[in-house]
């Protein structure tokens, strides 16, 4: 596989201009984030066993003016810093709460342009472990043989690879932040987790109620007295509606496209039981009155859709309106036209190259610290950049890179996922795909100057 030096010249220049614009937009975002302090309730969809059985998901709180000297010591943010996520997980080094900066909490990377465009289990495990080794060794030290430890520490980083996350923001004040920092730093941080009384949602309820007393509460009927993430989000929305003087907004953080199973819709306690035949049919047979009460509770209470009227956070960390059905069909037509145009560009060859590479490749970092996928073909190291920072500048195969983008776009344009996808991300992805396909067509039609201009390289950045 080859790196086409001349063919990439024009796209690379345009990509550098795009990176400068991205840097400017991120600088503007940092300024806007610091314009007012805020607390954001993060409602996280369930996945894996939680998604299959209970479906209650997870809850955490993001404070944009509170930062941390360590995962367990808080401080006020300096200019340009964007805050931390506070969360309670069971069995993390004996602590009750842990503070992780926002970007690592979502993506297990320190730079926004390092977020991978497409993720699989190998890549996510690699990024999480690299971040752990750099920042979380005190919480999750290596095993005696130097390998990755087990435990729930992995929940602290890379949440957006496993889940779609909904944010419910409400303004705070620097004085309130200062009092919260003093309280958390001044009290013992010892593990207190209990599913019934002190779970992750109870922790978030305590934090939000510190800012606004009695704002959030559990529901003894719908959730049988257990505090659930969905109940807190529902009450948070009602509270902000009753207090229009407080700045607030709701948004969606989409799950990163990839081969990792998509997260499931989030439920409350009664909702998760009443909506599942595997629970209700045996319960109706054994305890019909109890089952009837659960069904009555399920249908008798107002439904809450966390995605309703919510904007979508795009790759530039800007809020955008979700894709409409008509616009999704337009994007799908543009994708089909791109991948089926030209005599030398076939959808099958792109997908075949990408799937073969993905199955055999190993994650790594390039010389600038951005994630890549690598595999050896004979004595040749084939490397493909997988983040927006190195996607065009670090690729030894436009075919493989195009396959990655095509897989990402197909997932983003699924009807159920498209409403949680920002149009600006689709436009950006289609633009990148167009550039890659034009490079491939140029190389296959012999438009390169000479065979000598086709360079074989282990790293196109060199």
What is the chain's mean pLDDT, rounded?
A: 81
Q: What is the mean pLDDT of residues 181-200?
A: 91
How many Cβ atoms from other residues are within 10 Å of residue 252's Cβ?
Answer: 22
Q: Last residue of some domain: 288, 313, 338?
A: 313
Cα separations in angstroms, 134 against 138, 141, 290? 10, 11, 51
Question: Which residues make Cβ contacts (< 8 Å) with residue 244, sequence separation at least 6?
Answer: none
Q: Are strands 248-253 and 311-313 parallel, antiparallel or unpaired?
A: parallel
Q: Last residue of some domain: 283, 313, 343?
A: 313
Residue 441 placed within a domain: yes
Q: Which helix (H) or strand (E) holds 256?
A: none
Q: What is the mean pLDDT of residues 162-172?
A: 96
Residue 380 placed within a domain: yes
Residue 287 placed within a domain: no
**Alpha-helix runs per DSSP H in 287-422:** 288-300, 325-339, 347-360, 398-412, 415-418
In a shared domain, residues 329 and 451 = yes
Query: How many structural domains is the chain composed of?
Result: 2
Boundaries of domain holding 91: 36-266+306-313
In a shared domain, residues 84 and 219 = yes
Check: pTM over 0.95? Answer yes or no: no
Q: What is the 8-class DSSP label of residue 258?
A: B
In a shared domain, residues 254 and 337 = no
Q: Which helix (H) or strand (E) holds 460?
A: none
Question: Which residues make Cβ contacts (< 8 Å) with residue 318, sequence separation at least 6?
Answer: 25, 29, 424
**Alpha-helix runs per DSSP H in 243-324:** 269-274, 277-286, 288-300
Give me the pLDDT at residue 355, please: 84
Please state, in angstroms and rounded to a whole number, the distance separating the CA atoms of residues 400 and 437: 11
CB 192 within 8 A of CB 89: no
In a shared domain, residues 429 and 353 = yes
Q: pLDDT category, 287, cuts 50, 70, 90? A: very low
In a shared domain, residues 9 and 69 = no
In a shared domain, residues 182 and 329 = no
In a shared domain, residues 252 and 108 = yes
Q: Last residue of some domain: 313, 343, 371?
A: 313
Strand-pair partners of 194: 198
Q: pLDDT category, 347, cuts 50, 70, 90? A: low
Query: What percent of the chain has pLDDT above 70?
Result: 76
CA pseudo-torsion sign 324, 329, 330, 331: positive
Cα separations in angstroms, 418 against 116, 251, 253? 19, 15, 13
**Could you tell me how far CA 84 lies from the centroid of its own chain?**
15
């Amino acid at each position: 596989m080859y790196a086409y030096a001349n063919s990439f010249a024009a796209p690379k220049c345009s990509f550098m201009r795009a990176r400068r614009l991205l840097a400017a937009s991120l600088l503007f975002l940092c300024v806007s984030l610091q314009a007012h302090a805020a607390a954001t309730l993060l409602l996280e969809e369930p996945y894996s066993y939680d998604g299959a059985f209970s479906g209650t998901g997870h809850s955490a709180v993001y404070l944009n003016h509170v930062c941390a000297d360590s995962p367990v010591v808080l401080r006020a943010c300096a200019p340009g810093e964007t805050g931390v996520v506070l969360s309670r997980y069971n069995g993390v080094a004996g602590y009750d709460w842990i503070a992780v900066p926002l970007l690592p909490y979502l993506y297990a990377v320190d730079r926004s342009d390092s977020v991978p465009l497409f993720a699989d289990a190998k890549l996510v495990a690699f990024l999480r472990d690299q971040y752990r080794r750099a920042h979380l060794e005190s919480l999750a030290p290596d095993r005696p043989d130097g390998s990755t430890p087990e435990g729930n520490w992995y929940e602290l980083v890379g949440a957006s690879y496993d889940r779609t996350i909904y944010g419910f923001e409400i303004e705070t004040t620097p004085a309130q932040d200062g009092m919260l920092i003093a309280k958390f730093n001044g009290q013992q941080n010892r593990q207190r987790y209990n599913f019934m009384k002190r779970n992750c949602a109870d922790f978030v309820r305590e934090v939000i109620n510190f800012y606004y007393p009695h704002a959030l509460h559990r529901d003894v009927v719908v959730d049988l007295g257990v505090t659930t993430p969905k109940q807190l989000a529902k009450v948070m929305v009602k509270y902000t509606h009753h207090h229009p003087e407080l700045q607030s907004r709701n948004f969606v953080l989409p799950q990163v496209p990839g081969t990792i199973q998509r997260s499931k819709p989030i439920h409350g306690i009664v909702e998760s039981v009443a909506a599942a035949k595997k629970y209700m049919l045996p319960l109706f047979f054994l305890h019909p009155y109890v089952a009837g009460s659960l069904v009555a509770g399920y249908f008798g209470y107002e439904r809450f859709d966390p995605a309703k009227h919510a904007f979508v956070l795009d790759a530039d960390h800007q809020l955008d309106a979700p894709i409409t059905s008509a616009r999704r069909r337009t994007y799908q037509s543009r994708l089909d036209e791109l991948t089926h145009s030209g005599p030398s560009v076939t959808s099958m060859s792109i997908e075949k190259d990408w799937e073969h590479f993905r199955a055999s490749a190993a994650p790594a970092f390039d010389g600038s610290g951005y994630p890549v996928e690598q595999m050896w073909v004979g004595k040749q190291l084939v490397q493909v950049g997988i983040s927006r920072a190195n996607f065009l500048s670090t690729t030894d195969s436009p075919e493989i890179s195009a396959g990655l983008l095509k897989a990402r776009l197909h997932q983003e344009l699924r009807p159920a996922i498209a409403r949680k996808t920002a149009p600006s991300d689709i436009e950006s992805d289609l633009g990148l795909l167009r550039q890659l396909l034009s490079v491939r067509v140029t190389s296959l039609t012999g438009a390169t100057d000479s065979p000598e201009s086709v360079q074989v390289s282990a790293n196109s950045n060199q």
